[in-house]
Chains A and B, each alone.
Chain A
Amino acid sequence: NAGVTQTPKFRVLKTGQSMTLLCAQDMNHEYMYWYRQDPGMGLRLIHYSVGEGTTAKGEVPDGYNVSRLKKQNFLLGLESAAPSQTSVYFCASNLRGLTEKLFFGSGTQLSVL
């Protein structure tokens, strides 16, 4: 059982480049989330999704877009990367109504130069 899988694990971008982070879960979870983790800031919610075809903004959505075309996948896109987006990104998922059973991926470390 793979759980929540994030790809890639590491990436270095130049300012202005674009990229997509992929999150895949094999637990049939309805809810999926993208967080970013920065030193001294903890985890902050970027976007989330309550089901296939639906997304919503979290606390820090600017500069990011997301898509949930398939229930098992949640994509996070950076159209024009900025150094302020250097961070560790975590995907998480849970069954509807069971936030206490939130499963996390192992993270993507992104550096924007």
Chain B
Amino acid sequence: GNSVTQMEGPVTLSEEAFLTINCTYTATGYPSLFWYVQYPGEGLQLLLKATKADDKGSNKGFEATYRKETTSFHLEKGSVQVSDSAVYFCALNSGGGADGLTFGKGTHLIIQP
């Protein structure tokens, strides 16, 4: 079956630090990969996505590259801000099926001024 593994949190960084949140996956076929962000008290929002190998998704300064050879989709940002504090979820969908996305457990990111 499908599964997503994310690094455990919380991750605490200082403002302007470099961010990496690791994500690896197991899936049949060729899944689409996603990063979702959840701000306090809100639902999840799509941050970025990649639909095939070597694609790079990017949004709001965040980037992630679909690495088929290492089955990874690590999230990176060059200089984080306090407003980036949130929970980040890696997710996959294999084949656009009706049973939604498979999510990782989430990584809580805390940015200190």
Q: Which residue numbers of A lie inside 8 Å of B, CB to CB?
A: 4, 31, 33, 35, 40-45, 48, 50, 56, 58, 90, 92, 96-102, 104-107
**Consensus secondary structure, chain B interface:** loop
Q: Roughly how many angstroms separate A57 CA and B93 CA in the complex, as a whole number? A: 17
Other-chain residue from B44, B93, B97, B106 in contact with A100 (beta carbon distance below 8 A): B93
Q: Which residue numbers of B lie inside 8 Å of A, CB to CB?
A: 32, 34, 41-46, 49, 51, 89, 93, 96-101, 103-106
* A92 touching B104, Cβ below 8 Å: no
* A56 touching B43, Cβ below 8 Å: no
Q: Roughly how many angstroms separate A20 CA and B105 CA in the complex, as a whole number? A: 26
Residues of B within 8 A of A102 (CB): 46, 100-101
Residues of B within 8 A of A98 (CB): 96
Q: Roughly how many angstroms separate A92 CA and B34 CA in the complex, as a whole number? A: 15
Residues of A within 8 A of B89 (CB): 42-43
**B50 CB → nearest A CB, Å:** 10
Q: Roughly how many angstroms separate A102 CA and B34 CA in the complex, as a whole number? A: 11
Q: A48-B99, A48-B100 are in contact. List 4 more A-B contacts (CB 8 A).
A: A42-B89, A92-B44, A100-B34, A102-B100
Other-chain residue from A50, A97, A104 in contact with B44 (beta carbon distance below 8 A): A104
* A105 touching B99, Cβ below 8 Å: no
Q: Which 7 A-B pairs rank lowest in CB-CB distance, beginning with the nearest?
A: A104-B43, A42-B105, A43-B103, A104-B44, A99-B93, A50-B98, A42-B103
* A42 touching B104, Cβ below 8 Å: yes
Residues of A within 8 A of B93 (CB): 99-100
